[in-house]
């Protein structure tokens, strides 16, 4: 990645765009503010404020690096979770092959910061975006992009948009996770037809197969494993048919954050093919993990000897109303907290520099700028208290905050993570 581009982030000025940051920091550069090493609780930060744990982030990065190495997997974490170039850089430093993204805009962000390998987990049929990708490939021989194809019509549209391109775009046929799943080709016969359509072009090059096991309907370990074995068999069938004749390596890719143990198991069963295989895992939510959806579903719960991810986000809000012994309100709502899957969880209460468990306190609803708290008989909560909330689903946490303090366990803020959504 480009050191110069990352340094420009540190030169950005702090101002009203970035919620939660100290008002008296306006006009400082992000680098200057980070150098002050302010404390999250006493350094002028305003609630609500989202913080990312420096220690837990590093733990999660190291854990997935060693997991991928242990299982012989390459790793392209899904960057749409964070859209944070600083985290892209940290992931690449921890062994990532490249970054997975979902739409061309996200690729533009990654390229602006010098990411050299992108797995674009979508079929791209937008002509301007395809022409931009072609320009990027032609301008930089070291840039590699792989994207999905999932229909003959899509291949035709891509081919038309890429007419005259010097380098073909590498594509993988996406196998759908089953009837009623999201995108992807439903049957192996249709996969072959899409592959044939790619072979008829000069603008596209078939390099492998891919999919997303997280979309398996009514997912169980047995259903997920069965679909993954279909994916591996498809790669072997394509190879036997000579469909990968123009490539140096064959890409086989899957892997969200809920079933990567199944991916590792089945990819280990992949038979020897005519060329080396890039077994590409794409789990992305691990970088911050969460206190809800993925904490319940993480494969490390099923295989505890592999280690354990740690939730790295905490949203701090302040009690602004205590209308009755059974009710309180804090000043963080839908604009601040991930809420598409689970409500935030009250974890700790902070008063006068002391933290204690948020016993008897439950988040029951979110308004635009408030969280509704139900308080039990033993709950000790006053107006002015800070409440630390655990969040579910990191995919909708990063997108609500453009500049996130990276804080050590004692509250010292050592950096600020810039996001681009």
pLDDT band, very low/low/confident/very high, at 314 (cuts 50, 70, 90):
very high
pLDDT band, very low/low/confident/very high, at 183 (cuts 50, 70, 90):
very high
pLDDT reported for residue 46:
98
First to last CA, the chain: 19
> To the nearest whole number, what is the mean pLDDT of the chain?
96
Please name which of 335, 336, 343 lies closest in space to residue 364, comparing C-alpha atoms: 343
Mean pLDDT of 296-301: 86
**Domains defined for the chain, CATH in brackets:** 3-53+310-418 (2.40.37.20), 116-282 (3.20.20.10)
Query: pLDDT at residue 86 above 90?
Result: yes
Query: pLDDT at residue 153 above 90?
Result: yes
Which residues are within 8 A (CB) of 319 and not within 5 positions of it... i.e. 6 or more apart?
328, 329, 330, 373, 381, 382, 383, 384, 385, 386, 387
pLDDT reported for residue 150:
96
Query: pLDDT at residue 298 above 90?
Result: no
Query: pLDDT at residue 291 above 90?
Result: no
pLDDT reported for residue 107:
98
Listing DSSP states for 285-331 in one string gives GGGT--SSHHHHH-HHHHSGGG------EEEEEEEEEEEETTEEEES
pLDDT reported for residue 251:
98
Lowest mean pLDDT among 63-72, 186-195, 295-304, 369-378: 295-304
pLDDT reported for residue 2:
85
pLDDT digits (tens, 9 = 90+) for 17-27: 999 999 999 99
Separation CA 391–CA 381 (nearest Å): 20
pLDDT digits (tens, 9 = 90+) for 326-375: 999 999 999 999 888 899 999 999 999 999 999 999 999 999 999 999 99
Mean pLDDT of 212-217: 92
């Amino acid at each position: 990645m480009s050191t110069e581009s990352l340094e420009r982030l540190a030169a950005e000025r702090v101002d009203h765009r970035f919620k939660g940051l100290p008002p008296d920091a306006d006009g400082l550069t992000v680098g200057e503010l980070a150098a002050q090493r302010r404390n999250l609780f006493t350094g002028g930060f305003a609630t609500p404020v989202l913080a990312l744990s420096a220690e837990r982030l590093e733990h999660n990065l190291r854990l997935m690096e060693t997991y991928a190495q242990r299982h012989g997997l390459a790793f392209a974490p899904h960057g749409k979770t964070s859209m944070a170039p600083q985290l892209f850089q940290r992931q690449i430093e921890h062994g990532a092959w490249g970054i997975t993204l979902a739409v061309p805009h996200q690729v533009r962000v990654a390229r602006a910061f010098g990411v050299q390998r992108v797995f674009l987990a979508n079929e791209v049929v937008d002509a301007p975006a395809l022409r931009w990708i072609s320009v990027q490939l032609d301008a930089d021989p070291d840039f590699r992009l792989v994207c999905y194809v999932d229909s003959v019509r899509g291949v035709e549209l891509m081919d038309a948009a890429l007419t005259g391109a010097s380098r073909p775009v590498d594509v993988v046929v996406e196998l759908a996770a089953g009837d009623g799943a999201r995108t992807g080709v439903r049957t192996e016969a249709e996969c072959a037809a899409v592959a044939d359509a790619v072979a008829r072009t000069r603008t596209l090059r078939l390099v492998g197969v891919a999919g997303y096991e997280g979309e398996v309907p009514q997912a169980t370990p047995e259903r997920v494993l069965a679909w993954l074995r279909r994916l591996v068999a498809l790669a072997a069938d394509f190879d036997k048919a000579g469909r990968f004749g123009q490539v140096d390596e064959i890409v086989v890719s899957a892997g969200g954050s809920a079933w990567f143990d199944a991916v590792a198991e089945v990819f280990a069963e992949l038979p020897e093919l005519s060329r080396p295989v890039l077994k590409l895992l794409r789990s992305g939510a691990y970088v911050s993990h969460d206190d809800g959806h993925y904490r319940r579903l993480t494969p490390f719960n099923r295989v505890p000897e592999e280690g354990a991810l740690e939730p790295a986000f905490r949203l701090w809000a302040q009690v602004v109303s205590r209308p009755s012994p059974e009710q309180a309100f804090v000043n963080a709502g839908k604009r601040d907290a991930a809420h598409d899957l689970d409500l935030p969880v009250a974890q700790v209460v902070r008063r006068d520099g002391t933290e204690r468990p948020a016993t008897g306190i439950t988040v029951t609803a979110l308004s635009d700028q408030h969280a509704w708290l139900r308080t039990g008989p033993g709950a000790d909560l006053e107006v002015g208290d800070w409440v630390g909330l655990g969040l579910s689903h990191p995919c909708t946490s990063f997108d609500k905050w453009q500049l996130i303090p990276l804080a050590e366990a004692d509250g010292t803020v050592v950096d600020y993570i810039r996001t681009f959504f």
